[in-house]
Amino acid sequence: MRRDGRSPTFLFSCLCFGFAFLYVPILVMIAYSFNDSRLMSVWTGFSLRWYGALWENERIIDAALLSLRIAFVSATLATALGTLAALAITRMGRFRGRTLFSGMLAAPLVMPEVITGLSLLMLFVTLEGAVGWPSGRGADTITIAHVTFSMAYVAVVVQARLMGLDRALEEAAMDLGCRPMGVTFDIILPLIAPAMLSGWLLAFTLSLDDLVIASFVSGPESSTLPMVIYSKVRLGITPDVNALAAVIVAIVGIGIAVAGWLMARMARTGSAGVRS
């Protein structure tokens, strides 16, 4: 343990400080969701009233449902497209426009959201003027926007897995009489399934989290959850948002636990194909 200049005590205190930094704000936020007072300055007693208020706030509930729907559809589409893109990059050799393709695939990772949102809005407005589609903006345009930037993340995750996959597995399948398309379904897809699931979860989270791009490409009728939260918190602290935060943290906690269990199970059955 004492192999280098940093003593365990020093590292330990760094870890304690770091995790305190990461978790204290969240815990404080959750704690105040149980505060009876509207103000964050005083603790007037334990209460669940903000959870009640949250439950009754149809705007938040509707926005949450819309966000979940968009996240589900866009994550699924992004996983499909991102997986295809990763396959194209790693398994299709050289093709015309490959450089442009990999550039376009990587660019959303470094593109400020403000620019992505702005440019997609310009596209939708122009398209509407030119071909009449999409008529107005709403859930569909948000979904398209989310697919576009999250497929890049899926592609990165899946690509990493594909690169670690032993090429001999695919050659063995072909050697035994399988055509290349069949190899994709028999061998590649089952073995990259865990990465696809990770990618899907990532895309789902990115979509649920996105405020900026959605603000650009949404219509008046479609406010996602982050948009509603933003419009509330821009003006200051509101305890029902604290309650919402507590609910989200609880859901994520449970979700991570389940996902961790599932992934551990899949890893046990599928990871042997990865070369270390």
Partner 1 sequence: MGRGGSAEWQRPERQWRRTVAGVPYLWLLVFFLAPFAIVLRISFADPLIGQPPFTPLHDEAQGLQLTADNYRFLTEDDLYWVSYLKSMRIALVATLLCLLIGYPMAYGIARARPVWRNVLLLLVMLPFWTSFLLRVYAWMGMLSGQGVVNKALLALGLVDQPVQILYTDFAVCLGIVYTYLPFMILPLYAVLERLDGDLLDAAADLGGGPRQAFLDITLPLSAPGVVAGSMLVFIPALGEFVIPSLLGGLDTLMIGRTLYDEFFINRDWPLASAVASVLVLILVLPIVVFQRVSQLGREAAR
Partner 2 sequence: MNPWEDPAAEPFIRIKELRKSFGGVAAVDGVSLDIYRGELFAILGGSGCGKSTLLRLLAGFEAPTSGEVRIDGSDMAGRPPFERPTNMMFQSYALFPHYTVADNVAYGLRKDGLGKAEIKERVAELLELVQLQEFGRRKPRQLSGGQQQRVALARALAKRPKVLLLDEPLAALDRNLRERTQFELMGIQERLGITFIVVTHDQEEAMTLATRIAVMDAGRFVQVGTPTEIYEYPNSRFVADFFGTINLFEGRAEASDPSRIICAETGALIHVEPTAERPLPDVLFVAVRPEKIRIDREAPAEQGMTVLRGTVEDMAYYGNHSVYRVRTDQGKLVQVSSPNAHRSAELAPAGNEPVHLSWPRDCSVVLTQ
Burial of 245 (0-12, 13-18, 19+ CB in 10 A): middle
Residue that has been written with the tokens 């509603």 in this structure: 228
- Give the list of residues 6+ apart from residue 3 with CB closer than 8 angstroms, or none: none
CB 211 within 8 A of CB 128: no
158 vs 191 by CB, closer to partner 2? 191
Applying CB under 8 A, which of residues 175, 220, 234, 235 lies at the interface with partner 2? Answer: 175
Closer to partner 1 by CB, 22 or 176: give it.
Answer: 22
Should residue 125 be labelled a site residue for partner 2 when binding is judged by CB under 8 A? no
Question: Which of helix, strand or coil describes residue 68?
Answer: helix
- Cβ–Cβ < 8 Å for 110, 154: no
**Which alpha helices (DSSP H) does the chain contain, by range?**
8-32, 49-56, 58-91, 98-110, 113-131, 139-164, 167-175, 180-183, 189-209, 212-217, 225-233, 239-270
* Distance in Å, CB of 185 to partner 1, minimum: 11
Per partner kind, with CB cut-offs from 5 to 8 A, the member of partner 2, partner 1, none near residue 249 is partner 1
61 lines the binding site for partner 2 (CB under 8 A): no
Question: Which residues make Cβ contacts (< 8 Å) with residue 210, sequence separation at least 6?
Answer: 113, 146, 224, 226
Tell me the per-residue interface mask from 147 to 166 with partner 2, x by CB under 8 A, - otherwise: -------------------x
Out of partner 1, partner 2, none, which partner does residue 9 contact, by CB within 5 to 8 A per kind? Answer: none
Residue 157 CB, nearest approach to partner 2 (Å): 19
Which of partner 1, partner 2, none does 178 bind, CB closer than 5 to 8 A by kind?
partner 2
Q: Please say which residue, 193 or 249, places its beta carbon nearer to partner 1.
A: 249
- Residues interacting with partner 2, by CB under 8 A? 166, 168-169, 171-179, 182, 186-187, 190-191, 269-273, 275
